[in-house]
Amino acid sequence: MAEDKKPDAPKPAAPPAGAPAPAAAAGAPPAGGPPKPPDPVIKLPKAPDGMMTLRVNGTDHFINPKKYRTLIGALHDLGYDVPHFCYHPGLEPDGNCRMCYVNTIDVMSGKPMLGLQLAKQPFERYPKPTISCKEPLNPRGMVIETESAAVLEARKWVMEFLLINHPLDCPVCDKAGECMLQNNSYEHGKADSRFLEAKNEKPPKDLYGPEQMLGIKLWTDRCITCTRCVRFLDEVSGTSELYVSNRGDRSEISIAPGHPVNNELQGNIVDICPVGALIDKDLMFTYRAWYFQRTPSVCPDCSKGCNIEVHALKQYVRRLVPRENTDVNGWWMCDRGRHDFHYINADQRIMQGRIKDEAWPVVSACEEAGKKLAEAAKGGGDGVAALASAWLTLEEMHVLKTLFKDTLKSEQIGVLAQADWQAAEFPKFKIEADHNPNRAGAKLIFGEGTEAKAQQIIAAANAGKLKALYIVSSMPHFEPSAELLEAMSKVPLVIVQDLQRGALSQKAGVVLPGSSFAEKDGVFVNKDGRAQVLRRAIDPLGQGNDDLAVLQRVAKGAGAPDAVSKLLSAREVFRRMAEQYPPLAGQTHLTLGKKGLAPAVQEVK
Amino acid sequence: MAGGHGHGHGHGHDGHGAATPTPVLPSGAFLAPGNVELNWVEKMYLPEIVKGLGNTFSHLFKKTFTVDYDGTHREDPRKFHVPSEGYRGEHYLKKDEAGHVKCVACFMCAAACPAECIHIEAEAVPADWKDRERYPKRFEIDLLRCIYCGMCEEACPVDAIALSTTYNVVSETRESKVYARERLLQRGEELGISMSKHQYRPDGIPGHVPEQKQSH
């Protein structure tokens, strides 16, 4: 944080015990004017304009009060561990779990306020620990204690109350390992319970309708009624399927009969559930959270480019969850993207290079393809054409472009893209219609009008003008048009690099393995021109070659110079290519970071 | 210390022991702690060899401690070693009252296992199992990796896995050392100790399912 500066002078204010407020003896206020407020015991350093002073555990911070809705956001940003359940930065604060207690010190007397002179003082003062998720920031300055004895005590009792009806079934609960109740109980709770009575057991409920393939199951007994799910469905998805019924310790999350939770953001309520009450039916019982390898990545399913985390286990992608990026997706992702990973480890994946009429897979198929391309390009470069896709990363597009322009001397590069899907808009989330992650990137690398160019290439192929066609698809849901399939049969040499066996690979003379987003490093540019880095979550299934390596090996076979054909990592390729594209100048994967930068915005838009 | 002397200096230093209290050794040579200077009888070696052999032969007439193990004579303590009760040998899985595998597929044993030899795939239970929600569709222990530490037994929250005292764990193929669920269950039955002592509730009601509550 920029404004997280510590001034030199101030020290933790030691409240003078029993000292009378010096203000009392300050003398009579000047006649006629408003009464002068007494001087406070704790003198906070003056903050710069627009900022406020927040003294936490004796350390002063200058923060911008307009940046945070309530105190807990500022405390979390400053790095203080304030435990919480119901508070979520993406939702309106509700203040029902009472876990985020902090002490607010009275600036006048320097003591936690006892509530006698509540209205008389200019600074707000509180008789008890207060919940920081509902506590607005006071621009005149605040003094907070997050670790005082009273606060720790209060949190301990809150934990004990929350655990009264919570079953002790962590070993069979899918949330175990990433459960906020487990973590906070370990950090702030007691080891044992004094509750001897029978626990209030409530029946589990199915939140999905009979026709729903995907759905969520609710274990009502595990629920601590934080109402995060209720508030999410009210505020973000706007569908409001869930509500709280009954009162007290019998209150439970309920659903109206015949109105199941069925919207395209429902997976998020499983993520934000602080306990294991909401579990995705798709993954239920099949995983343990601590075994997942978690890799930050970017969802490829629409041009929004939601930041996600790929959870993989033993080289299998098992789960995609959203990652916080308030500039792109907030804390959420849609269910279309969340459940669209089954093609990665599917049986139809192309794992090896094959050449037509060869009985067995060819180990050097990539180099062979390159040689054939170079031969076809001998009679004039425009006899060979490439069809890239909007699912390739910038690095792959760059290698393909360099191969065709510099080595094969061909200008014939078009871009294929998946057909749009239906856009969807929610109160606080939008699913884009563009079903491709990197259309803006294709525009950046190849220039304008590449998709029209693809149509020209297909038309030229249909007219029999092409000698070779190199299709780099790697699109999981691409449905080739009839013209493209017809054109493929009229070109003597068709090289297809794709994820799955299908219509494209059947018509190909050479088939090369492609790779999905989980198998490669690279950069996608989303619709706003924000360049975001993908990271490799599992090893590439194409015998260890991801799309970039396959392209580099093809370039090697075609006799391209080392700059293109050397097997460099995506990070290195990006570093070397960035200078050629002004919006990316000076950037590397490291400077793009986990949340991406928006260097390409102006140029692409 | 075998081979303590090099080529350049090897023969110089013996015989000076009595004259100089701290013999000056040539560089590279040293006396190991506890080394003593030998007198001339000992240096002949032959009497010492006879002494050593005498010790060896005297054992021919003493009582043996070892077991003539061949794994077949279970009743004969001289032919079959019976380990003590806490011995950690081959694993087995236990059952509940209904005869189902007791395991709830919580992966605690796999998490505790330092050798990572336990492989579990969990699944929802068949519809007629009322007492729980998940069970192991696949449960394998790779005994080639196992170090018999017994952590899995300690970690198990429902007393479903335990280590028997079977130490005879030889086999002819690697595949047969990966024990699947059925084999682990069968092993417990053979030993007659296959019943889990765990109960889900302190009142001992197995398979308790909360009833649907009336909401006013």
Residues of A in contact with B158 (CB under 8 A): 171
What integer pLDDT is reported at residue A116 of this predicted model?
A: 42
Question: Are A557 and A366 spatial neighbours (Cβ–Cβ below 8 Å)?
Answer: yes
Say what the ipTM of the complex is: 0.75
Could A245 and B215 be called an inter-chain contact, meaning their C-beta atoms sit closer than 8 Å?
yes
What integer pLDDT is reported at residue A108 of this predicted model?
A: 67
The band of B166, judged by pLDDT with boundaries at 50, 70 and 90, is confident
Could B124 and A284 be called an inter-chain contact, meaning their C-beta atoms sit closer than 8 Å?
yes
Number of helices (H), then strands (E), in chain A: 17, 23
Rounded CA-CA distance B96/A83 in Å is 40
Q: Is A171 on the interface with B (CB under 8 A)?
A: yes
The band of B53, judged by pLDDT with boundaries at 50, 70 and 90, is very high
What integer pLDDT is reported at residue A22 of this predicted model?
A: 42
Task: Please give the residue that has the higher pLDDT: either B192 or B143.
Answer: B143
B107 φ/ψ sector (left φ>0, alpha ψ -120 to 50, else beta)? left
Which of A172, A203, A285 faces B210 most closely, judged by CB atoms? A203
Mean pLDDT of B179-200: 84
Token pair of B57 as six digits = 């032969």
Residues of A in contact with B210 (CB under 8 A): 201-203, 221
Nearest CA in chain B to A247: B215
Residues of B in contact with A285 (CB under 8 A): 105, 122-124, 133-134
Which of A171, A201, A284 faces B157 most closely, judged by CB atoms? A171
In the DSSP assignment, the letter for residue A403 is I
Rounded CA-CA distance A457/A141 in Å is 66
Residues of B in contact with A172 (CB under 8 A): 104-106, 132-134
Could B111 and A172 be called an inter-chain contact, meaning their C-beta atoms sit closer than 8 Å?
no
What integer pLDDT is reported at residue A222 of this predicted model?
A: 93
Token pair of B32 as six digits = 């190991």
Token pair of A208 as six digits = 């999905």
What integer pLDDT is reported at residue B25 of this predicted model?
A: 60
Could A202 and B210 be called an inter-chain contact, meaning their C-beta atoms sit closer than 8 Å?
yes
Furthest-apart CA atoms within chain B: distance in Å: 107
SS3 for A424?
strand
Rounded CA-CA distance A332/A430 in Å is 10
Could B210 and A171 be called an inter-chain contact, meaning their C-beta atoms sit closer than 8 Å?
no
In the DSSP assignment, the letter for residue B2 is T
Looking at the complex, report in whole angstroms how far the Cα of residue A14 sits from the nearest Cα belonging to chain B. 48
Q: Is A43 on the interface with B (CB under 8 A)?
A: no
Could B121 and A288 be called an inter-chain contact, meaning their C-beta atoms sit closer than 8 Å?
no
Report in angstroms the alpha-carbon separations of B38 from B4, B19, B26: 17, 15, 20
What integer pLDDT is reported at residue B200 of this predicted model?
A: 62
Report in angstroms the alpha-carbon separations of A557 from A378, A395, A551: 14, 19, 10
Mean pLDDT of B82-107: 89
In the DSSP assignment, the letter for residue A405 is I
Task: Please give the residue that has the higher pLDDT: either A41 or B135.
Answer: B135
Could A203 and B215 be called an inter-chain contact, meaning their C-beta atoms sit closer than 8 Å?
no
What integer pLDDT is reported at residue A42 of this predicted model?
A: 80
pTM of the shown model = 0.81
Looking at the complex, report in whole angstroms how far the Cα of residue B198 sits from the nearest Cα belonging to chain A. 14
Q: Is A172 on the interface with B (CB under 8 A)?
A: yes
What integer pLDDT is reported at residue A499 of this predicted model?
A: 93
Q: Is A256 on the interface with B (CB under 8 A)?
A: no
Rounded CA-CA distance A504/A479 in Å is 9
Residues of A in contact with B212 (CB under 8 A): 203
SS3 content of chain B, % helix, strand, coil (to 5): 20, 10, 65
Could B210 and A285 be called an inter-chain contact, meaning their C-beta atoms sit closer than 8 Å?
no
Which of B106, B210, B216 faces A172 most closely, judged by CB atoms? B106
What integer pLDDT is reported at residue B8 of this predicted model?
A: 42
Token pair of A543 as six digits = 């015998």
What integer pLDDT is reported at residue B1 of this predicted model?
A: 39
- pLDDT < 70: residue spans in chain A: 1-33, 36-38, 108-127, 599-605
Nearest CA in chain A to B203: A198
Looking at the complex, report in whole angstroms how far the Cα of residue B127 sits from the nearest Cα belonging to chain A. 15
Task: Please give the residue that has the higher pLDDT: either A155 or B74.
Answer: A155
Q: Report A:183-222 residues touching B (Cβ under 8 A).
A: 201-203, 221
Residue type, A175: K
Residues of A in contact with B157 (CB under 8 A): 171
Rounded CA-CA distance A442/B172 in Å is 59
Furthest-apart CA atoms within chain A: distance in Å: 105
Could B123 and A172 be called an inter-chain contact, meaning their C-beta atoms sit closer than 8 Å?
no
Which residues of B lie inside 8 Å of A (Cβ-Cβ)?
Answer: 104-108, 111, 121-124, 132-134, 157-158, 210-213, 215-216
Q: Is A284 on the interface with B (CB under 8 A)?
A: yes
